[in-house]
Amino acid sequence: MQAYQQKAEVVSTEKVTGDIYRFTVKAPDIAADARPGQFVMVRAGDGLDPLLRRPFSIHQVAEGGLVQILFKVIGKGTQAIAGLQVGQHMDVLGPLGRGFVHNTMQEHYLVGGGIGVAPLLFLAKQLLKKNEPSAIRVLLGAGTKAEISTLADDFENMGLGVQVSTEDGSLGKPGLVTDLMVPLQNENKVMVYTCGPYPMLRAVAGVSSDKGWACQVSLETIMACGLGACLGCAVLRADMNGYVHVCKDGPVFDADDVAWL
Q: Please give the C-alpha separations between residue 159 and each of 122, 133, 177, 201, in angstroms, as whole numbers.
A: 14, 6, 21, 26
228 in contact with ligand FAD (CB under 6 A): no
Q: Please give the C-alpha separations between residue 258 and each of 142, 192, 207, 235, in angstroms, as whole numbers.
A: 24, 15, 15, 8
Whether residue 95 is preceded by a cis peptide bond, meaning omega within 30 degrees of 0, is yes
Choose, by CB under 6 A, the member of 62, 182, 231, 259 that binds ligand FES: 231
What size, in residues, is the chain? 261
What single letter denotes the amino acid at residue 80? A
Longest dimension (CA), the chain: 54
229 in contact with ligand FES (CB under 6 A): yes
**229 contacts which partner out of ligand FES, ligand FAD, none, CB within 5 to 8 A by kind?**
ligand FES
Q: How far apart are CA 120 and CA 216, in angstroms?
A: 12
**220 contacts which partner out of ligand FES, ligand FAD, none, CB within 5 to 8 A by kind?**
ligand FAD
Nearer to ligand FAD, 113 or 190 (CB): 113
197 in contact with ligand FES (CB under 6 A): no
47 in contact with ligand FAD (CB under 6 A): no
75 in contact with ligand FAD (CB under 6 A): yes
Q: Return residues touching ligand FES (CB under 6 A).
A: 223-226, 228-233, 245, 247
Q: Return residues touching ligand FAD (CB under 6 A).
A: 39, 50, 54-57, 69-72, 74-78, 115, 118, 220-223, 251
